[in-house]
Each structure stands twice: as C-alpha cells, then as structure tokens.
Structure 1
Amino acid sequence: MRRSDRKQDEPDLGVLAGRTLFALQRELFAKLAEQGHPELRPRHGAVLAYLDEEGSRATDLAAQSGQHKQVIGTLVDELVALGYVERQPDPADRRAKLIVPTEKALDHMTKSDAIIAAMEAAHARAVGEQAYAEFKRVFKLVAERQTGTAE
C-alpha cells in the first residue's frame, strides 16, 4: 500500500488534526469575511484567538499560541495596520507594552466566538451531544499531553 493511500485510509493524529484545523479555518474566515472582516487571515489567529479584552503581552501571546515572539511581533504589526489592535504601555510595567484590541477586534472576537459555537453545535448534532462532548474531553487531554500542559 502506498503511503498516501494509507494516510488517506488510516490517517494519524497529525493528519486528522491538520485536516480539522484547515477546514475549520476555511469556514471560520469565510464567514468572518461575510460579516465584515475580509482582511483577516488564519495566521492572525495566533494573536486574536489568545488576546484578552483588556490586552495581552506579546510574550504571553507567543507562549499561548506556540509561535515565536518575532512572529507575534510581525502579526501584531499587521493587525495594528489593519486597525485591530493597538500597542499601549502596560500599567503593571511601564517598560512593557500591551497588545490591546480595538472595537474592530472586539467585534471580530464576538463574531468568531459565535461562528465557532455554531460549528461545534452542528458537529454535536451530527455525531450526538454525548459523543461530541466525550470527543472534546479526550481531544483536550491529548492536546494537553502533546503540548506538555497536562496536569
């Protein structure tokens, strides 16, 4: 059996996770574009998915997203130019900067949360509420174990 056939018939965790992520991103960003956010790309999720409403430090965004701080800096520059975030002094440490969402980002975050919730609800209806809840519980455990964040 060719490797590509095996990966198609018996996909491993990486293949399944990748397929799921890319399909989720395609649907999410297509719907966000329809709802007023056409300039955003999946790469911006490394900032926006982890951004606190009151602001976050770039180092925290890097740690949470698994991206290098330099990548986060580039993404923040793009998001500043697009009007989604601002850099402001951190009140807890004036030498540090907070990445703070603008109203545009808060709108995006609200819409993104609603779109993801609807996608999850559709999956739960398709496979059954209990099965989906168990899938998420186990997938979370696997993700935590893989990333070294398991308790």
Structure 2
Amino acid sequence: MITQDSDLGILAARLLFSLQREVFARLAERGHGEVSPRHGAILAYLDAGGVRATELARLSGRHKQIVGRLVDELEALGYVERRPDPADRRAKLVVPTERGLDQQRHADEIIADIERRHAGTIGEPAYAQLRRALMAITDEAAAGPDQQHDSGPAPG
C-alpha cells in the first residue's frame, strides 16, 4: 500500500509498473500482443537507422547476454532484424522492421495519451516541473556515484 512515507523507489516502481501494464495492454488491443514489458528494454531504445546491441545494453542497463536474448525473441516475432553496420561490417545493427516501427508509433501515441492524462490530473505546470525533476534525478543517477555532487559538507 502506498502511504505518505513511501520512498522514491516504491513510488517509481509503482509508476513504472502501472505505465507498463497500460502500454502493453493497449498495444495488445492494437495487434501487438506478442510483446511484453521485458521487450520494452529494447523497443524503447530502437532507432529506425539501427542500434548496436552493445549500445542497447548500455542504454537499457541490461547485460549484453540479456539484450541478445531479447533481440532474438523480437527477431523471431518479426519486430527487428539484424543488419551489418555500414561503419563496421563486423558489427551488427538491430533495426526495427515495419512491424517494429508500427509498434513504436502505437507505443508513442499511447504514452503521449497517458502523459496528457497525468498532466490533466496534476495540471500542466506541475507535470512539466515533475518531468524536469525526474530528468534531473535520472541524469544524476546515470552519471554514477563518482559524478554525483555532494550536497553537504564532508564528514569530518
């Protein structure tokens, strides 16, 4: 149960799980019932021009082996294909197929709809401020502990 004392991790997880449930339920209604939240780790970072699996691993925070398995699943489902990277023929790019691009368009529409609904709940200015705050927090967290700024005096 969420309370006033719920920590940021609990609140963030609840928001993520709620978003995932709605996005993937609505994608299923639009003909993309084969994909699931675990595939979102790849689908969210695909680019029409293709992305290397190592970059997908970095962006998603997943291990390369997990990314490889998810790409295999998405390839079998017809959402992506592997192509040689023109910049380095030894490397492969993960490229969305037409089905993958269709899924991305639908997911973008669904997420925009959810964001409009949330903005309507708390008001546009508050929602814009929330987004800026979340971006700042996640940027700081992504920088890692060595890059984060200490907000207080050193212990001593």
TM range (shorter): over 0.9
Q: Which amino acid is 2:20 matched to?
A: Q
Q: Percent identity, please.
A: 57
Aligned pair 1:112/2:114, yes or no? no
What SS does the corresponding residue of 1:94 show, helix, strand or coil?
strand
Aligned pair 1:146/2:135, yes or no? no
In structure 2, the partner of 1:70 is: 65
In structure 1, the partner of 2:49 is: 54
Q: CA RMSD in A?
A: 1.5
In 2: Cα distance, 1:146 partner to 1:12 partner: 16
In structure 1, the partner of 2:93 is: 98
Question: Offset of 1:8 from its aligned partner?
Answer: 3.6
What SS does the corresponding residue of 1:96 show, helix, strand or coil?
strand
Identify which of 1, 19, 27 aligns with 2:22. Answer: 27
For residues 53-86 of structure 1, give each alpha carbon's deviation from its aligned partner in whole angstroms, at most 9, with x where no partner exists. 1110000000011111111000000001100000
In 2: Cα distance, 1:46 partner to 1:53 partner: 16
In structure 2, the partner of 1:87 is: 82
Within 5 A, what are the aligned runs for 1:38-53? 38-53=33-48
Structure 1: stretches of 5+ with no match in the other structure: none
Question: Offset of 1:116 from its aligned partner?
Answer: 0.2
In structure 1, the partner of 2:132 is: 137
Structure 2: stretches of 5+ with no match in the other structure: 149-156
Q: Which amino acid is 1:79 matched to?
A: L
For residues 104-145 of structure 1, give each alpha carbon's deviation from its aligned partner in whole angstroms, at most 9, with x where no partner exists. 000000000000000000111110000000000001101111
In 1: Cα distance, 2:140 partner to 2:113 partner: 27
TM normalised by structure 1 equals 0.93
Question: Offset of 1:47 from its aligned partner?
Answer: 0.7
Within 5 A, what are the aligned runs for 1:7-18? 8-18=3-13
In 2: Cα distance, 1:97 partner to 1:47 partner: 15
In 2: Cα distance, 1:45 partner to 1:98 partner: 18
Question: Offset of 1:9 from its aligned partner?
Answer: 3.9
TM normalised by structure 2 equals 0.90
